[in-house]
Structure 1
């Protein structure tokens, strides 16, 4: 017996399944985006390092090093951790390094100079870094290939 205010008996049950097809589509689009952008994230400065026979320095794993690079054209770059920079003049390198060292003085400063760059360019860079407050400056080199 049906009453006026009662629900009809042929009512549909609610669907308890989730349609996952749109989520798979979104996941595949994100996968493609990450596959395309991942190679672009690994950027750096092209520097041909001089090869020497030297022992590696022991770096403190808790402290990020500041790496100042000089490419073959004499352009300067400052890298802190994974963050690189655009080419900058020597005066801007001094300001940026001084700002970083004012926050934390226990950072190592490493110079990565292209082997084809003029010796005076690297010396001017090291003098500028000392003027910015650097007390310890190291040079990055490649190891000599084994001649066996």
Structure 2
């Protein structure tokens, strides 16, 4: 009788999901740790101004950042956190506009940056063939949109 009991054993068809849950939790932790590091560009404090926001666009703009020390950074550079000269900015803008001719170009200057440095960034963008160069500001709390009074 022992032989028959052993022969009639059924196979258990269950999937153990515990390893999959472990892998999922590890991936979740990895994404939570790396997400803040994905912020591109250099940290600056743009000046406040009562202005209306740009319309929502599909294309990410090329952003030229000017920090307090007057160093230039470009968002589409191979290393966006490495300072560039004005002459290095122009080919990056030209390359971006060859791929997407209508891509907007914005200058994001630190509030305490030298006015001359911000203007030179705008001139470099215009020399690269950009018709309109926008300025990035932070909204003023309580100010009406559109620069109204």
- TM score, norm. by length of structure 2: 0.78
Describe how 1:129-140 pairs up with structure 2 within 5 A.
129-140=125-136
Paired residues in the alignment total: 136
Match of 1:108 in 2: 104
Q: Which runs of 5+ in 1 are unaligned?
A: 1-8
Inter-CA distance 17–92: structure 2 relative to 1 (3 Å threshold)? same
Deviation of 1:79 after TM superposition, in Å, equals: 2.1
Deviation of 1:84 after TM superposition, in Å, equals: 7.5
Runs of 4+ aligned structure 1 residues displaced above 6 Å come to: none
Does the Cα contact within 8 Å between 1:67 and 1:78 map onto a contact in 2? yes
* C-alpha separation in 2, matches of 1:118 and 1:140: 15
- TM score, norm. by length of structure 1: 0.78
The SS at the match of 2:73 is strand
* C-alpha separation in 1, matches of 2:52 and 2:79: 23
Inter-CA distance 29–92: structure 2 relative to 1 (3 Å threshold)? same
Determine which of 100, 120, 123 is the counterpart of 2:119. 123
Does the Cα contact within 8 Å between 2:41 and 2:81 map onto a contact in 1? no
Inter-CA distance 40–60: structure 2 relative to 1 (3 Å threshold)? closer
Does the Cα contact within 8 Å between 1:69 and 1:78 map onto a contact in 2? yes
CA RMSD across the alignment: 2.4
* C-alpha separation in 2, matches of 1:121 and 1:106: 25
Greater Rg, structure 1 or structure 2? 1
Q: Which runs of 5+ in 2 are unaligned?
A: 1-5, 144-149
